[in-house]
Chains A and B, each alone.
Chain A
Amino acid sequence: MNIAVLAKQVPDLVEGLEIDASGKALDPDSLRYILSETDDHALEEALLIKERVGGRVEVFSLEVGEVREALYAALAKGADRAVLAQTEGEVRLDNHTLARIFADLLGRGSYDLVLTGVRAIDDLDGSLGGLLAGYLGLPYVGLVRKVEIASDSATAIVEKEYPGSYAAELEVRLPAVLGIQAAEQPPRYVPVSRLRQVMKTAKVEVQDASLPEVLPVAVERLSQPEEGAGAAMLSGNPEEIARQIVDLLSERRLVG
């Protein structure tokens, strides 16, 4: 089973976000990047599948922020290959452009499964997996939380989440693209000593990627969330605030 995982860097919310003077982009000086949480789950699911049925896990990223460290961490966790695609110019790309770049990269290899996080914090429409599947001419299932490969490796049974705590089992023909909601277990820990050892001995493969000619999504304006009129701020010491919350909850009959 050859599995490709897309690992995307997203802004780290620990630092808070600032909008630059143009009003259309985040201020790069305030930004710090981190691996997208759902992509971390996609990698974990890929490693679990590999542990169960054998095969290889290859991780693909674009050159953004601390991405090399994330790729070394993936190798330390058990990935077999890490590929860093370098593009010229703009590093924050919309999903149409990303999907095209990844489709070109993946087209150079042969994969039974392509796993990506179903969405990222800077991409709530979750369109990357679907667009990529379109470009590659493969089936796509999103919101996946479990993957079982059939014994002949021709199909997989995937568990897909639906609203209202429903889930469905779908059979999908392989190769396929899957948008991972959560892995079957939390992403594993990499001891720093192993990470450092991998950084010394392993290589991240660099490949050139050209910026494709797709019509990107244009950002008109970014804004900080505005305080809504319906919000009431509670004040007082912790005991007083706790009392007010209890009163509010029981007034609205939200607690017994």
Chain B
Amino acid sequence: MTMGTFEAAPIPEKPGVLFPEIASAEDKFRTCLQCGVCTGGCPMGEVMDFAPRQAVKMLLDGRFGEVVESNTPWLCIACHTCATRCPRQLLISDSLFPALRAAVMAAGKPLDQDLQKALQNTYLYGNPMGESPRKRAEWAKTAGVPVPIVSQIKRPVDVLWIVECYPSFEPRNQEISRKLARILNALGVDFAILGHEERCMGDCEWLAGERGLFEMLIERNIEILSKYRFKQILMTDPHSYRTLRNVYPALGGRFVVKHVVQFLAERLSQLKPLLKKQMDVTVTYHDSCCLGRKTGHYDEPRALLQALPGVKLVEMIQNRESSLCCGGGATTIYLDRFIQDRVKDRLADRRVEQAAATKAEILAVACPFEPSRFEDAVKVTGQEGKLLVQDILELLAESMGLA
């Protein structure tokens, strides 16, 4: 029994064949006004061979293949500014770019090696770093408070906390995870985590155009989540949060999902008396793309920061809907080297310079990609010692005496 070779598919002029989302979206793309608002707001447009408006035009003109061959597919950072501003509400970053990337993969073109490694690791181990899935809950051992694993406690819980990859494995984020465990404990929240059963939620894989890997992760995650009884899911990663909230339902996974800023803002009256330490500090807040433009949580993080005693909140020149991406969205957190060779200055550096211009002492964030990216940018831009990057959870823990 033998079989023929699988030929690499030719680059299709009709991308819907490869990426079902865009087949239904294509008609909608025909309503494009070619107004250029997408390109105007795109922080990467100037270095793309075909900026978003042009890419849409080429799709409609049957010249999709030329865009697939260009540098454009890998330069979208999925900040979603284009889609948010588009008068026709075309999902450029969520459908056109994943379709471009899927086409690159289907044509068997070589991938960036960092990205390929991340995808292979996610396939094998359920996380892009290539860490052992058995060690997913190691961080919790030093949390100082119980962090129950849902399969072990054998009872329904109020809150299932999906910790996600960076907060589980990356040392800087593990610290933040431990602080959240203490905050939840102090608030008396009945919570548990999935432990070794947890896998990547798939946001990056979807945006990378790795449709098959995304579906595999979703199937497995829905199967695992369906085993347990809980009232709501809590997440700190905005990317996974918006995917679980906005994409999973259409694929059979319906859950009540809250991002931690939303979850804690709902408990502000309970939280406030616990915020004892006077902070006396000026803070500026970075709206991450998925928590801001994608899910509209602009007010909750600010409410939490303003609840901290002695915090003065100031805004950067680009804030809320116009916030500037850190440059790590979608898959681009694995494409730093590829992108760095093509841009004049990195978005994270530009963003930190905006933060420094406010004279704030703290750049507050609520996304696991930010601490390492912005701390690196703080060093690169010479702000070390002047600007401190802190997750909102770290500031809350400090004021609660849990740091």
Are the C-beta atoms of B2 and A80 separated by less than 8 Å? Answer: yes
Are the C-beta atoms of B212 and A14 separated by less than 8 Å? Answer: no
Q: A194 to B116, alpha carbons, bound, how many Å?
A: 15
Decide: A76 near B212, CB < 8 A? Known: A191-B106, A192-B123, A205-B1.
no
Are the C-beta atoms of A76 and B6 separated by less than 8 Å? Answer: yes
Closest 4 CB pairs of A and B: A193-B212, A192-B212, A192-B213, A81-B2
Say which residue of B1, B105, B125 sits within 8 Å of A191 (CB atoms).
B105
Q: How far is the CB of B370 from chain A (nearest CB, A)?
A: 19
Q: A58 to B307, alpha carbons, bound, how many Å?
A: 66
* B-chain residues with CB within 8 Å of residue A75 when the two chains form the complex: 3, 6
CB within 8 Å of B: which A189-225 residues: 189, 191-196, 198, 201-203, 205
What is the 8 Å Cβ interface bit string for chain B, positions 120-161, against chain A (1 contact, 0 not)? 100111000011101000000000000000000000000000
Are the C-beta atoms of B1 and A194 separated by less than 8 Å? Answer: no
Q: A195 to B120, alpha carbons, bound, how many Å?
A: 12
Additional pairs, 18, CB under 8 Å, beyond known A81-B3, A191-B212, A205-B1: A12-B124, A14-B131, A15-B134, A75-B6, A76-B6, A78-B6, A80-B2, A185-B110, A186-B110, A186-B113, A189-B105, A189-B111, A192-B212, A193-B211, A194-B6, A194-B106, A198-B6, A201-B3
Which of B210, B211, B212: most chain A CB closer than 10 A? B212
Decide: A203 near B1, CB < 8 A? Known: A78-B6, A188-B110, A189-B111.
yes
Interface check A16, CB cutoff 8 A:
yes
Q: How far is the CB of A72 from chain B (nearest CB, A)?
A: 11
Q: How far is the CB of B206 from chain A (nearest CB, A)?
A: 12
- Using a CB–CB cutoff of 8 Å, the interface residues on chain B facing chain A are 1-6, 102, 105-106, 108, 110-111, 113, 116, 119-120, 123-125, 130-132, 134, 210-213, 215-216
Q: A190 to B62, alpha carbons, bound, how many Å?
A: 27
Are the C-beta atoms of B6 and A15 separated by less than 8 Å? Answer: no
Q: A34 to B111, alpha carbons, bound, how many Å?
A: 21
Are the C-beta atoms of B3 and A80 separated by less than 8 Å? Answer: yes
Are the C-beta atoms of B5 and A80 separated by less than 8 Å? Answer: yes
Are the C-beta atoms of A194 and B212 separated by less than 8 Å? Answer: yes
* B-chain residues with CB within 8 Å of residue A186 when the two chains form the complex: 110, 113, 116
Is the contact region of chain A dominated by helix, strand, or loop, or is it mixed? mixed
* A-chain residues with CB within 8 Å of residue B4 when the two chains form the complex: 80
Q: List 19 A-B contacts (CB under 8 A).
A: A12-B124, A15-B134, A75-B3, A77-B6, A78-B5, A80-B2, A81-B2, A186-B110, A189-B119, A189-B120, A191-B213, A192-B123, A192-B210, A192-B212, A193-B212, A195-B212, A196-B212, A196-B216, A203-B1
Are the C-beta atoms of A202 and B130 separated by less than 8 Å? Answer: no
Are the C-beta atoms of B116 and A14 separated by less than 8 Å? Answer: no
Q: How far is the CB of B301 from chain A (nearest CB, A)?
A: 28
* B-chain residues with CB within 8 Å of residue A34 when the two chains form the complex: 124
* A-chain residues with CB within 8 Å of residue B106 when the two chains form the complex: 191, 194
Q: A81 to B2, alpha carbons, bound, how many Å?
A: 5
Q: How many pairs, one residue from A and one from B, have CB atoms within 8 Å of each other in the complex? A: 65
CB within 8 Å of B: which A47-96 residues: 75-81
Q: How far is the CB of A11 from chain B (nearest CB, A)?
A: 13
Are the C-beta atoms of B210 and A191 separated by less than 8 Å? Answer: yes
Q: Which residue of A lies closest to B2 (CB)?
A: A81
* B-chain residues with CB within 8 Å of residue A196 when the two chains form the complex: 212, 216
* B-chain residues with CB within 8 Å of residue A194 when the two chains form the complex: 6, 106, 212
Q: How far is the CB of A69 from chain B (nearest CB, A)?
A: 10
CB within 8 Å of B: which A77-125 residues: 77-81
Are the C-beta atoms of B212 and A203 separated by less than 8 Å? Answer: no
Q: A192 to B5, alpha carbons, bound, how many Å?
A: 17
What is the 8 Å Cβ interface bit string for chain A, positions 169-192, against chain B (1 contact, 0 not)? 000000000000000011011011
Say which residue of A14, A79, A188 sits within 8 Å of B108 (CB atoms).
A188
Are the C-beta atoms of B6 and A14 separated by less than 8 Å? Answer: no
* A-chain residues with CB within 8 Å of residue B212 when the two chains form the complex: 191-196
* A-chain residues with CB within 8 Å of residue B125 when the two chains form the complex: 14
Q: How far is the CB of A207 from chain B (nearest CB, A)?
A: 11
* A-chain residues with CB within 8 Å of residue B215 when the two chains form the complex: 192-193
* B-chain residues with CB within 8 Å of residue A198 when the two chains form the complex: 6
* B-chain residues with CB within 8 Å of residue A15 when the two chains form the complex: 132, 134
Are the C-beta atoms of A202 and B3 separated by less than 8 Å? Answer: yes
* A-chain residues with CB within 8 Å of residue B110 when the two chains form the complex: 185-186, 188-189
What is the 8 Å Cβ interface bit string for chain A, positions 1-39, against chain B (1 contact, 0 not)? 000000000001011100000000000000000100000
Q: How far is the CB of A83 from chain B (nearest CB, A)?
A: 10
* A-chain residues with CB within 8 Å of residue B216 when the two chains form the complex: 192, 196
* A-chain residues with CB within 8 Å of residue B108 when the two chains form the complex: 188
Which of A34, A194, A201: most chain B CB closer than 10 A? A194
Q: How far is the CB of B385 from chain A (nearest CB, A)?
A: 12
Are the C-beta atoms of A14 and B130 separated by less than 8 Å? Answer: yes
* B-chain residues with CB within 8 Å of residue A193 when the two chains form the complex: 211-212, 215
Q: How far is the CB of B329 from chain A (nearest CB, A)?
A: 21
Are the C-beta atoms of B3 and A203 separated by less than 8 Å? Answer: yes
Q: How far is the CB of A62 from chain B (nearest CB, A)?
A: 19
Q: A52 to B134, alpha carbons, bound, how many Å?
A: 43
Q: How far is the CB of B20 from chain A (nearest CB, A)?
A: 11
Q: How far is the CB of A91 from chain B (nearest CB, A)?
A: 20
Q: Which residue of B lies closest to A79 (CB)?
A: B5
Q: How far is the CB of B98 from chain A (nearest CB, A)?
A: 12
* B-chain residues with CB within 8 Å of residue A80 when the two chains form the complex: 2-5
* B-chain residues with CB within 8 Å of residue A192 when the two chains form the complex: 123, 210-213, 215-216
Which of A34, A191, A198: most chain B CB closer than 10 A? A191
Q: Which residue of A lies closest to B129 (CB)?
A: A14
